Amino acid sequence: MSVATASWERARTPEQKEVRIVEIIEATARLFEHKDFEKINLAMIAREAEFTRSNLYKYFGSKEEIFLELIRRDSEKWFLDLKQTLGNDRLDSETFARLWVEVQSRHQRLVKLLPLKYTIIQEKAPREALANSQQAYLTQTKLLVSLLKSIFEEITEDLAASFFHSLKVVVLGTRPLMATNSKQKQAMEANDITNDKGYIEKLYFNTIKALIDNVLVRAREEQVVPVA
C-alpha cells in the first residue's frame, strides 16, 4: 500500500469531496491518454489515483459514471473556450465555421470521448448518472442557443436549437475521423483512404457553414411578411 493510500481520509466537506473527485477524474484522463476505454477498469483508476477500490466506490459506482463526469467537465471547458473565441459580435457564416473548427481542434480528448458517450458509455451507465448527463446536455444546449442568438440576431430559439441538434449528428460522424489512433491511421493508409487532418477539418468546416447558412435562410424566410 502506498503512503498516499495509507494516509487517505474520506472527504468531510464539499471542498474536500471536490478534491477527491478531481483526483479520480484526472487519473482517469491520464489512463485514457494511452489506453482504450474498454481496457480501463475501476481497479486501474483506483491505482492511478492512489485510492483503494473501496474508497473509489464512495464517489463513483462505475467506470461509466466517471467517464460521464469527465465528459461533462471537458464539455464545460469546450463551451467556455467557444464563447470566448466567438465573442458576442455578429459574424458571417464563414468566420463562425472557421472559429468553431479552431475551438474543436483544441479539445481532442472531447473529440474522442463523445462518440463513446452516445454508444457504449450510455448503454452501461447507471440510470442516475445517465439522467444527470442528459440534464447537463440540455443545460449546455440552452447556453449554446443563447450564444448563437447573440451572434446571429435574426435566428429564433427554435432555429438555433435545430442547428445544434443537426450539428450533433454531424459531429458524431466527424469526430472519430478527427481523432484516429495510430492503428486506424495505418489501416487507412494501407487502403489509400485519405486521413489528412486538414482535409477532414475542411469537410467539417464546410458542413458547419452549410448548416448555419441554411438556418439563416430559414430565419429570413420566417421574417418575410406575406402580402395580403
Residue 228 lies in a domain: no
218 pLDDT above the threshold of 90:
yes
Cell 420566417, residue? Answer: 222
**pLDDT (0 to 100) of residue 63:** 96
Q: Looking at the structure, tell me whether residues 44 and 97 fall in a common domain.
A: no
**pLDDT (0 to 100) of residue 228:** 47
195 pLDDT above the threshold of 60:
no
Burial of 203: CB neighbours in 10 Å, binned 0-12, 13-18, 19+? middle
Alpha carbon 58 to chain centroid distance?
26
Q: Sorting pLDDT into bands at 50, 70 and 90, what band is 5?
A: very low
Cell 492512489, residue? Answer: 50
Show which of 30, 45, 60 is a domain's final residue.
60
Q: How far apart are CA 212 and CA 157, in angstroms?
A: 14
Least confident of 72-86, 134-148, 162-176, 177-191: 177-191
Q: Looking at the structure, tell me whether residues 54 and 132 fall in a common domain.
A: no
Number of domains in the chain: 2
Residue 56 lies in a domain: yes
Question: How confident is the model over 162-170, as a mean pLDDT?
Answer: 86
**pLDDT (0 to 100) of residue 88:** 79
3-state secondary structure 2-53: CHHHHCCCCCCCHHHHHHHHHHHHHHHHHHHCCCCHHHCCHHHHHHHHCCCH
**pLDDT (0 to 100) of residue 170:** 78
CB atoms within 10 A of CB 28: 22
Q: Looking at the structure, tell me whether residues 162 and 102 fall in a common domain.
A: yes
DSSP state of 118: I
Domain that holds residue 87: 63-223
Q: Looking at the structure, tell me whether residues 13 and 122 fall in a common domain.
A: no
**Maximum distance among all alpha carbons in the chain?**
82
50 pLDDT above the threshold of 80:
yes
Q: How far apart are CA 157 and CA 73, in angstroms?
A: 25
Question: How confident is the model over 36-55, as a mean pLDDT?
Answer: 94
pLDDT in tens, 69-122: 999 999 999 999 999 999 978 999 999 999 999 998 899 899 889 889 988 999
Question: How confident is the model over 48-55, as a mean pLDDT?
Answer: 92
DSSP state of 224: P
Question: How confident is the model over 13-17, as a mean pLDDT?
Answer: 87
The residue among 178 and 110 whose pLDDT is bigger is 110
